[in-house]
């Protein structure tokens, strides 16, 4: 799954892995959702992670991880290609702006 996200973020068109039955772009959304859940569950399991707010966890995910950066690049790629919108829920509206820096 990581290879698919990394590939799309890099501008490639990797095949969706076996078991993903949804066509693009919905299939990409499901892969991204699985990886986001993995990141957030792993972070919550760290010492002090369980006490972090949902907003803080999501801010970390979208603004402080390679996955977050890849999701922004995928969103930008879909937008530049003229798609009416990136896969739904790829990046929540509250985090639509990339962090500066």
Q: Along the chain (101 residues), what's the average pLDDT of each consecutive run of 10 residues?
A: 93 90 86 94 85 89 95 90 71 87 62
Q: Where are the domains of the chain?
A: 2-14+21-95
Q: According to the model, what pLDDT value does residue 101 have?
A: 62
Structure tokens at 32: 């991204």
Instruction: Please give the model's pTM, rounded to 2 decimal places.
Output: 0.87
- In the chain, what is the straight-line distance between the N-terminal and C-terminal CA atoms, in Å? 28
Q: What b/e sequence results for 1-23 when a residue is b if at least 16 CB atoms lie within 10 Å of its CB, and e otherwise?
A: eeebbbebbeeeeeebeeebeee
Task: Note the pLDDT of residue 79.
Answer: 84
């Amino acid at each position: 799954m990581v290879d698919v996200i990394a590939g799309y973020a890099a501008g490639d068109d990797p095949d969706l892995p076996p078991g993903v039955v949804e066509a693009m772009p919905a299939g990409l959304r499901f892969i991204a959702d699985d990886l986001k859940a993995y990141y957030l569950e792993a972070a919550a399991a760290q010492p002090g992670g369980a006490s972090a707010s949902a907003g803080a966890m999501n801010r970390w995910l979208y603004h402080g991880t390679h996955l977050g950066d890849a999701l922004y690049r995928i969103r930008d790629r879909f937008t530049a290609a003229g798609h009416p919108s990136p896969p739904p829920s790829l990046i929540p509206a509250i985090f639509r702006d990339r962090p500066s820096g």
